[in-house]
Structures are given as structure tokens and as C-alpha cells.
Amino acid sequence: MSAQTPTQTLARALTAPGLRARKGGEKIVCLTAYTTPMARMVDAACDVVLVGDSVGMVLHGLDSTVQVTMEMMILHGRAVRRGIRRALMVVDMPFGSYEASPERAFDNAARLMAETGCGAVKLEGGESIAPTIAFLVARGIPVMAHIGLTPQSVHGFGGYHVQGRGGTRFQLGRDAHAVQEAGAFAVVLEKVVEPVARQITGRLVIPTIGIGASPACDGQVLVLDDMLGLFADFQPKFVRRFAELGTQAEVAIAAYAQAVRDGSFPGPGHVFADTP
């Protein structure tokens, strides 16, 4: 058998520098994933697979991301890594794992990368966290930044409020430039008013990834379960549902329960005879 040509091999895995080079080019597609099967599906279509700390609310029923632990992120990170072949895998650093000092942040980021095999970590915060980003980048850890609404700071914000109105727009600009100068290869803009997100995107030399921000951002990210409509009673304004799997699952579960109760399942085709 002859050797495969380059066009017959799998596409090369995307890296943090490769993603940074996409600034102003083809849009960057990002979704969350927390399990191996979902990671495989996301990997087939997306550029970035984010193991978000939203896993705490989506899969563990927590009230916020503040309660998520390193152990949870490592567990789900390992599962997602098994399903990825091409996309860049980014793992959220959970609340309390990086704020105390750059040294502590490095220890925890290094642990996340070593134990999950991810290609980058994500930190929330702007000017205040920029020195930590610089410390990590200088030691070989690629960092995706996250400004605007930062869910780990939801108690400080007093809720999940839109960012960038009034005087806060100037702070967002400072935050964006601070994380860029610190060495972040990309920055998530969450729930930022559209004109401000558009302006920040135009001024930065690193890609912006929007979630409730602007179509002008260099890419977009959503929580997979929100996009699939798995939660019928939860639909933020910035989420477009591309399916209604929650409703379909409820119908299927009810049909299964009815079939068990009326004896139509299992049928002859679902059981085994005593002879081959």
C-alpha cells in the first residue's frame, strides 16, 4: 500500500498561535463540551472546544460556576480530550485557582494542562488579572482571556448584567488592551453591548470570541446544551437554539415509559432465544 498523501491525512490540530493568526480571517467557531461523545461531535465542526466551568451548572446542578473545583475540571477535561482530534481544547480555570498569586495560578494551570492534555487555559478578568496572564505566558502556558460579564464574579456584579453601558465601556477597553499586552492569544467578550464589542474587536490584534457581544467579533462561542435546546425553560437573549432536543427527549422518555407500562417494550426483537 502506498503512503498517504497529505490530503488523505487528518487535518493538523489547531494550536493557540494558529488561532491567534486567524484574527480578521475566517470566523472562529467555538462550543463547550464536557463529555467524550459530545467532544467528538463538536470537534468535527468547530475550531475550539471549551471545557467550560459552566459544567457545574449544566451537568452538576450548581447555582453558579463559583462552586466548581479543579477536580471537576480535570475529570471533564480528560473526558473531552479523548474525543478531540483537530480542535484546540481550552479548559477554564475554576474560581479560586488563580486569583491569589501568579505562582498559584501557574501551579494550577500546569496541573490542568498536564492532567487533561489541553492546549490552553482560560482565565476571567481584565487589568487586575493581566500580571497573572503575563506570568503564565512567560512560562509557556497559552492563555485565553475573558472579559465583560465574568460569571465567576457574578456576586460582585450583583447578577448576570449586560456590560459596557455608561462608564464601564472605558474599563472594558482598558481590560481588553491589558490582556492583549499580557500575552493572551484571544479574548472572550461576554454579554458586552454590541457597539463596544465591535470597537474592541477593531482595535485589538488578537481575536475576540463573542457570546452575547457582536457579529463583528472574530468568532463566537455558546454553551452546547443551550444551543441544542436541552433546557426548555432557559433561553438567554444571546442564545439561538439550533435544535429543541430537550422537548424531543421529554417526548421520547414519556413514550418509553408508556411502552414499558403497556408491555409493548421489550418486544420479540429485543430479547434472546435459548438457541442461536
How far apart CA 168 and CA 59 sit, in angstroms, is 33
The SS3 assignment for 23 reads coil
Q: Is 107 annotated as a binding residue?
A: no
Q: Is 122 annotated as a binding residue?
A: yes
Return left, alpha or beta for 117; rule: phi > 0 is left, psi -120 to 50 is alpha, else beta: left
Cβ-based neighbours of 154, under 8 Å, separated by 6 or more: 64, 65, 66, 160
Q: Which helix (H) or strand (E) holds 120?
A: strand 120-124
Q: Is 27 annotated as a binding residue?
A: no
Q: Is 191 annotated as a binding residue?
A: no
- Quick one: cell of 163? 456590560
**Which residues on adjacent β-strands are paired with residue 143?**
121
One DSSP character per residue, 76-94 reads: HHHHHHTT-SSSEEEEEPP
In contact, 179 and 123? CB cutoff 8 Å: no
DSSP state at residue 148: E
Q: Is 233 annotated as a binding residue?
A: no
Active site residues: 190
Cβ-based neighbours of 162, under 8 Å, separated by 6 or more: 149, 191, 192, 193, 212
SS3 for 210-273, per residue? EECCCCCCCEEEECHHHHCCCCCCCCCCCCCCCCCHHHHHHHHHHHHHHHHHHCCCCCHHHCCC
Residue ranges at the known binding site for Mg(2+)? 53, 92, 124
Residue ranges at the known binding site for 3-methyl-2-oxobutanoate? 53-54, 92, 122
Residue ranges at the known binding site? 53-54, 92, 122, 124
